[in-house]
Amino acid sequence: MISPLVITLSLNNLISRFTFLVALLVFVGGGFVVAQADPITVQAHLVLGTSKEQEGKTEFSNTIRKRLAKVFKWMKYYELRSKRMSIVDGATKTAKLSKTAKIEVSNLNKGKVAVSLFSEGKMLVQKSQKLKSGSCMVLAGESGTDSAWFIVLSKVK
């Protein structure tokens, strides 16, 4: 006859193995979910705002141009450069937008991004915001009397 002590030890061993298996599945499954997280894709635009007509330059998106004109004094907005970045959760990417300007964009999760704007190696501004499709984040650089430059960051669908 098998003693109750042997049955208890066998049952404890079975429970320990089951617990280990469940923990292993949670660990491996959790890692898989993180690896499969959708990255956020953002478009960064370097934009010149000015009062003067600029021959040979591409006018910026009409929708965003109208939004900028409501806040800033310039009526003309030209796109100088554009960069698209795909950034996984928790990661940071850097994009050089001109000889002197670069940005670092961090994906903070669930559509929230943090952006650092640098000019000539010095950080000018840091900003974080939840980016939804159709919305944008605007960062401005130093302006002269007749122009200014902006970084417009938008989420790509």
Tens-place pLDDT, residues 114-123: 999 998 889 9
- pLDDT for 142: 64
Matching residue, tokens 């130093």: 142
Name the residue type at position 151. I
- Residues 29 and 44 placed together within one structural domain of the fold: no
| Count of domains for the chain | 2
The answer to whether residues 82 and 27 belong to one domain is no
Going 53 to 50 to 68 to 73, the CA torsion angle's sign is negative
- Do 89 and 120 belong to one domain? yes
- Calculate the alpha carbon distances from 52 to 11, 18, 49, 145 in Å: 83, 73, 9, 11
Pairing verdict, β 101-109 and 76-87? unpaired
pTM higher than 0.75: no
Examine the domain organization and report whether 10 and 80 are in the same domain: no
Boundaries of domain holding 68: 40-155
For residues 103 and 8, the model is more confident at 103
- Looking at residue 30, what is its pLDDT? 53
Reply yes or no on whether the pLDDT at 47 is more than 80.
yes
- 125 touches 151 (CB < 8 A): no
> Residues 6 or more apart from 26 whose CB is under 8 A from it?
none
User: What span, in angstroms and rounded, lies between the C-alpha atoms of 47 and 61?
Assistant: 10
Band of residue 111 on the pLDDT scale cut at 50, 70, 90: confident
Q: Is residue 122 within 8 Å of 131, Cβ to Cβ? A: no
Q: What is the pLDDT of residue 18?
A: 52
| Mean pLDDT taken over the chain | 81
One domain for residues 86 and 134 = yes
Which strands make up the sheet holding 112-119, listed edge to edge? 92-96, 101-109, 112-119, 122-130
Residue 109 pLDDT level (bands cut at 50, 70, 90): confident
Q: Domain check: are 24 and 58 in the same one?
A: no
Predicted confidence band of residue 4 (pLDDT cuts 50, 70, 90): low
